[in-house]
Structure 1
Amino acid sequence: MASSDKAPVACPASIGECKEPMGDPTKTTTAILEKGTTTMQSMKPIKQMSLHMCSFACYSHDPGRQIEVHIYDHRVNHDFLQCAVYDSRIEYIVSEKLFESLSPEEQKLWHSHDYKIQMALLVTPRIPELVAKPELKNLAKSNGKFWCTWQIDRGDRLPLGVPSLMVSPQDVNLGRIKPKLVKKRDEEHGISTESLKPSREGICGPGKKILVADYLRLMSLRQI
């Protein structure tokens, strides 16, 4: 089930000033128990996450709604990454080779990453560009599949409704990220998107045809 052009019903608890998730504060006894379990459990899937990236995403059924996302990835192998995208989202990233092996219908659900890397919309906080560049070159040729289960940008205090398919920023009208979102991200992380752009020169993705296909997917996903 994919997202549609119908806006989901907003959570009644969203009304008002409170933006915190619904529920009672964590009890002291529960916090102590959870702290103790971290010394006894391996937490292997979490510890395998090796890279933090910050970028932006658009809702496929309403590209004008854009959010900042924080991506923590675990490389399963050279062609496949599994990522946690906080809050409450999951993205899968595949190489160009694996993407080309997918059916045309399946490809509609994936988005390319080259534009947001070339335009420094995807950054690696606290990691020098020189260190991050080899991985950025790999990611520029990759494609992602990304579902949002909690629409926090509209104030929901619980994950409501069906998951929404997300798409990556693109150099088309609906896909361009609002400057105020970029400014807010830059101020929070002490970076300059404009200053990073020259360092991304020479990084290229799978080609112009994929960018055009991304634009067409933004439109056609309304009908999936």
Structure 2
Amino acid sequence: MASSDKSSAPASTLGGDQPIPPGKTMSMERHMLDKGAQMLQSLKPVKEMSQHACTFAIYSHDMSRQIETHHYVTRISQDFLQCAVYDSDDSHGRLIGVEYIVSDVIFEALPPEEQKLWHSHAYENRLWAQIKSGLWVNPRVPEAVVKPELENLGKTYGKFWCTWQADRGDRLPLGAPALMVSPQAVNLGMVKPELVQRRDDKYSISTSAIQKSRVEFAEPEWLNPQADYWKQHGKGFAIDIEPTEMKLRAPFP
């Protein structure tokens, strides 16, 4: 497991007020090389990202820490999506993690221990958390366009690993990945109002108005109790990360 001991590296590379990682400014030569590569390479996986969604996430091990997240979504199949998660939609946004989203059909087939790592996109009182509350939005895309996708997302489960805790000032991805969970309060009571307001101001939207427009969305008929382990136990699932050496060892005959 990667160490989180900050004493082993210069403080200037780990935290502080500067949001960008340490390193020299990009040279003109490097810019030219990158531009040339873009012209010659297909970058097919990146080009398959079909939508940008903005929502919020909470650290399962410390629920006082809430962050705005920007998901760049690739649909692999009707039942499986993969998302590169950034801390902003700016050109220099930091890649802070990855989320996988599966349909209820796939989730039900997972082993119970695996299901504990996933969060539902619905709430136990049958009101969708991110979707019906208006927390999940597709910036600058009309609601009518994304409505079918939003209705499908209400019956899905996500597994979100945060690999870069930029919200605490880390200028590099440090330590083990953190398991994230979905805000689950339709009245927005679980998400800090200032986070929602800042997002609303940036995109000139009203989350409360979006919530009202989604009130008629159909609700999932069944939520697997194995999901949202954090909600049932008041803490994140205990993650046992083996040292790299152990993972590389293979038994000999």
Whether these two folds match at TM > 0.5 is yes
Amino acid paired to 2:174? L
Tell me the CA shift for residue 88 of structure 1: 2.7
- Greater relative contact order (Cα < 8 A, sep 6+): 1
Q: In the alignment, which residue of structure 2 is the partner of 1:162?
A: 176
- Give, in whole Å, the separation in 2 of the partners of 1:64 and 1:221: 17
Work out the CA distance in 1 between the residues paired with 2:193 and 2:32: 42
Aligned structure 1 segments of 4 or more residues deviating by more than 3 angstroms: 8-11, 204-213
Q: In structure 1, what is the equivalent of residue 209 of structure 2?
A: 195
Whether the 8 Å CA contact 2:17–2:169 is kept in 1: the answer is: no
Tell me by how many angstroms 1:219 deviates: 2.5
Structure 2 partner of 1:5: none
Alignment match, 2:235: 219
TM-score, with length taken from structure 2:
0.79
* 1:136 equivalent in alignment to 2:150: yes
Structure 2: segments with no counterpart, 5+ residues: 87-94, 123-128, 241-253
What displacement does 1:194 show? 0.8
Cα deviation digits, residues 155-210 of structure 1 (max 9, x gap): 100001011111111129xx811111101111111111011011211324535755
Secondary structure in structure 1 of the residue aligned to 2:235: helix
Corresponding position: 1:148 with 2:156: no
Whether the aligned pair in 2 keeps the contact of 1:170 and 1:211 (CA below 8 Å) is no
1:4 counterpart residue number:
none
Distance 1:111 1:43 in 2: 31
Deviation at 1:22, TM superposition (A): 1.3
Summarize the Cα distance change of 1:218–1:131 in structure 2 as closer, same or farther, 3 Å threshold. farther
Q: How does 1:68-217 map to 2 (within 5 A)?
A: 68-86=68-86, 87-114=95-122, 115-171=129-185, 176-207=190-221, 209-210=223-224, 214=228, 215-216=231-232
Q: Are the aligned partners of 1:149 and 1:159 in contact in 2 as well (CA < 8 Å)?
A: yes
Amino acid of the residue matched to residue 63 of structure 1? M
RMSD: 2.4
- Structure 1 residues 205 and 216, CA, compared in 2 at 3 Å: closer, same or farther? farther
| Cα shift at 1:9 | 4.8
TM-score, with length taken from structure 1: 0.88
Shifted more, 175-184 versus 61-70: the winner is 175-184
Alpha-carbon distance in structure 1 between the residues aligned to 2:78 and 2:121: 16
SS of alignment partner, residue 40 of structure 2: coil
- Sequence identity, in percent? 51
Separation of aligned partners in 2, 1:153 and 1:42 = 33
Q: How far apart are the structure 2 equivalents of 1:72 and 1:191?
A: 20
SS of the aligned residue for 1:145 comes to strand
3-state SS, counterpart of residue 22 of structure 1? coil
Q: Secondary structure at the match of 1:122?
A: coil
Query: 5+ residue gaps in structure 1?
Result: 2-7
- Alpha carbons 2:15, 2:171 under 8 Å: kept: no
Structure 2: distance between partners of 1:116 and 1:219: 20
The structure richer in helix per residue is 1
For 1:73 and 1:45, the matched residues in 2 are separated by 11
CA distance in 1, matches of 2:226, 2:114: 17
Q: Whole-Å Cα distance in 2 between the matches of residues 155 and 91 of structure 1?
A: 22
Q: Which amino acid aligns with 1:195?
A: A
In 2, the alpha carbon distance for the partners of 1:9 and 1:170 equals 33
SS of the equivalent of 2:39 reads coil
SS class of match (2:175): coil
CA distance in 2, matches of 1:40, 1:198: 47
